[in-house]
Amino acid sequence: MHLENIAFLTLFITATALFVMKIREIRANINMGHDLDRSDNASERWKTMALVAIGQKKMITRPLAGLLHIVVYAGFIIINIEMLEIFTDGIFGTHRAFSGLGGFYNFLIASFEVLAFLVLVACVVFLLRRNVAKVKRFHYREMTSFPKSDANLILISEVLMMSAFLIMNACDLILQERGVEHFHTAGAFPISTFLVPMLDGMGDGGLILIERACWWFHIFGVFALLNYLPYSKHFHIVLAFPNVFFSNLRPKGQFNNLEAVTKEVKLMFDPNADPYAAPADGGGEVKRFGAKDVTDLTWKQLLDAYTCTECGRCSSSCPANQTGKLLSPRKIMMDTRDRMEEIGRNRKKHGKDYTDNKSLLGDYISAEEVWACTSCNACVEECPVNIDPLSIIIDLRRYLVMEESKAPTELTGMFTNIENNGAPWQFSPADRLNWANEA
């Protein structure tokens, strides 16, 4: 085994180990949430994942961005098939190990080149949209230093990696044509052939050096990106599939009842019930109604937070946001993820029972943001990976009302009327039909 193969294996094992460690950390953070059964209706869930996560159904509602994203998505998936050959070459010291596939191999390499070029063009357009055209939704107040630079970093990395891939192939093509040892004839190069005139004047040694440098740059780029993804919004590349699979299949606007409240109501209507008896299902005392912190949310809501693409489609469609109110559904998801990460770090450093006396509601998300929501579900409808910011907002509202007795004045009056009159209106039940007597 040569030194180059040893270096590749060392890099591969180290990058994979670091990635697995981070994934375990994220999994532990998501498991902070309460249990939620989303195992029902498997056939509908597979269909939804095929259409939304794989088929990009909701992306094309905005045609330009949708088309460019599909190009990048397809390029990312298909071009990475070539990583199988690169890994094989890196481990065994071969060169174009799969070239024995003959004509099919030529077709694959040609396809990879065309896709690499399209990905490069799409990434350049995305960079121009963000930094020159300055599309409004990419510059809302929550898009501070890292969220703003995160997208640019990934896009620039993709441009550089695709460029290195094409330059590597151009050098390979010249070396093949010159009959240089180890560079046997293999592959078809419809895009990189245009780069040949720029490099053809170089000697064999210089071309081999550039080809190897681009090869290693591509390898380092892939492994660096692998370990950067869990810290980035681009982690949706991995999480979009399970997140869509476990998405809410109920009609939008259909809220769930709190099980603890349902039990309390049943106790009120059962004259023989013992309010002090232990629950029949063995459950303990209810700690909280609604949600104050991320530990009060479900694992699916926390998975939503990690899956958020920060594309801003939710906020750009939110009527509250568009009328100047403080609410931004994207910020709700980003704040949930940031708070979850903070608790995870504290638990890792100080132990599971450590408390920092902070919470999602108050320290990250204000009551003003929560009450600005109209519950219209526009954010849920727009999200390309079926994230549900509204469910988090509703749980935060429930905590404010049921635990803190805090609600806007308009709602307080309605609550009082429901309690006293059994209806939102300020009329006695006995007077409800008086309007009929006026006819």
SS (H, E, C) 331-375: HHHHHHHHHHHHHHHHHHHHCCCCCCCCCHHHHHECHHHHHHCCC
pLDDT at 329: 95
Same domain, 284 and 396: yes
Distance CA 185, CA 355 (A): 63
Q: How many CA atoms lie within 13 A of 393 on its CB side?
A: 24
Question: Which has more pLDDT, 308 or 200?
Answer: 308
Give the model's confidence band at 337: pLDDT under 50 very low, under 70 low, under 90 confident, else very high: very high
Same domain, 308 and 225: no
pLDDT at 255: 85
Give the model's confidence band at 4: pLDDT under 50 very low, under 70 low, under 90 confident, else very high: confident
159: left (phi over 0), alpha (psi -120 to 50) or beta: alpha
Same domain, 193 and 229: yes
Closest CA to 27 of 291, 338, 306: 306
pLDDT at 385: 94
Boundary-marking domain end, from 211, 245, 279: 245
Distance CA 241, CA 306 (A): 12
**Quick check: 166 pLDDT over 80?**
yes
**Quick check: 12 pLDDT over 70?**
yes
Question: At which residue do the structure tokens 């995870």 appear?
Answer: 344
Same domain, 154 and 265: no
pTM as predicted: 0.86
Q: Does the residue 431 lie in any domain?
A: no
**φ and ψ at 365, to 5 degrees?**
-115, 130
Q: Which residues pair with 361 in a beta bridge?
A: 365
Q: Are residues 74 and 164 in contact, defined by beta-carbon separation less than 8 angstroms? A: no
DSSP state at residue 35? P
Ranges assigned E (strand) in 206-325: none
Same domain, 163 and 265: no
- What angle do the packed helices 299-307 and 329-350 form, to 10 degrees? 110
Alpha carbon distances (Å) from 15 to 137, 210, 228, 241:
34, 24, 10, 23
Q: Does the residue 159 lie in any domain?
A: yes
Q: How many CA atoms lie within 13 A of 35 on its CB side?
A: 3
Alpha carbon distances (Å) from 82 to 66, 87, 110, 168:
25, 9, 12, 13
Distance CA 262, CA 268 (A): 10
Residue type, 119: V
The answer to which of 109-123, 251-265, 380-394 has the lowest mean pLDDT is 251-265
Average pLDDT over residues 40-59: 92
Same domain, 163 and 272: no
Same domain, 161 and 23: yes
Residue 166 DSSP SS3: helix
Give the model's confidence band at 359: pLDDT under 50 very low, under 70 low, under 90 confident, else very high: very high
Q: Does the residue 192 lie in any domain?
A: yes
**Quick check: 280 pLDDT over 80?**
no
Give the model's confidence band at 187: pLDDT under 50 very low, under 70 low, under 90 confident, else very high: confident
Question: Which has more pLDDT, 181 or 142?
Answer: 142
**Quick check: 367 pLDDT over 60?**
yes
Give the number of other CB atoms < 10 A from CB of residue 356.
11
Same domain, 237 and 281: no
pLDDT at 101: 81
Provide the mean pLDDT of the chain: 88
Same domain, 226 and 314: no
Give the number of other CB atoms < 10 A from CB of residue 401.
16
Tokens of 363: 């320290």
Alpha carbon distances (Å) from 399 to 74, 115, 119, 361, 425:
43, 50, 46, 9, 24
Residue 298 DSSP SS3: strand
Q: Does the residue 45 lie in any domain?
A: no
92: left (phi over 0), alpha (psi -120 to 50) or beta: alpha
pLDDT at 186: 82
Closest CA to 172 of 210, 139, 142: 210
pLDDT at 92: 80
Q: Does the residue 380 lie in any domain?
A: yes
Average pLDDT over residues 336-361: 92
Same domain, 123 and 189: yes
pLDDT at 285: 53
**Quick check: 281 pLDDT over 60?**
no
Same domain, 222 and 118: yes
Domain count, the chain: 2
pLDDT at 78: 78
Give residue 201's domain range: 3-30+62-245
Q: Does the residue 435 lie in any domain?
A: no
Q: Are residues 90 and 12 in contact, defined by beta-carbon separation less than 8 angstroms? A: yes
Give the model's confidence band at 132: pLDDT under 50 very low, under 70 low, under 90 confident, else very high: very high
Give the model's confidence band at 76: pLDDT under 50 very low, under 70 low, under 90 confident, else very high: confident
pLDDT at 433: 80
Q: Does the residue 56 lie in any domain?
A: no
Q: Of all residues in the chain, what percent carry a pLDDT higher than 90?
A: 48
Residue 376 DSSP SS3: coil
Q: Are residues 346 and 356 in contact, defined by beta-carbon separation less than 8 angstroms? A: yes
Distance CA 84, CA 290 (A): 48
Average pLDDT over residues 386-412: 91
Q: Does the residue 430 lie in any domain?
A: no
pLDDT at 420: 85
Extract long-range pairs of 423-426: CB within 8 Å, 24+ residues apart. Answer: none
What's the residue count for the chain?
A: 439
pLDDT at 1: 58
Same domain, 153 and 230: yes
CATH number for the domain spanning 417: value is 1.10.1060
